[in-house]
Amino acid sequence: MSLWFRVQEYVVEVGLRLAKVLVATVFGFLVYLVLTGIFGMPASAQLAVESWIAGMLLFLIVETGIF
């Protein structure tokens, strides 16, 4: 394999990983909006981090095909 092909594979892999983080962030933001809006929880940095982690877990569950 040529060096260019290896670099191209690496760039695609990094792009896919960043896309996964972006999708998890969107899921986490939606969880955050539901918790602060509908359920009336006070907004905090801890809630934001926990929502982001919940978004990552939700994405992992969807990605593995459990649903």
User: What whole-number percentage of the chain has pLDDT above 70?
Assistant: 97
Report whether pLDDT(66) > 80: no
Dihedral pair phi/psi, residue 38, rounded to 5°: -75, -45
Taking only the tens place, the pLDDT of each residue in 3-28 is: 888 889 999 999 999 999 999 999 99
Locate tokens 């992992």: which residue? 60
State in Å, rounded, how far the first CA of the chain is from the last one: 38
Structure tokens at 28: 């986490």
DSSP string, 22-63: HHHHHHHHHHHHHHHHTS-PPP-HHHHHHHHHHHHHHHHHHH
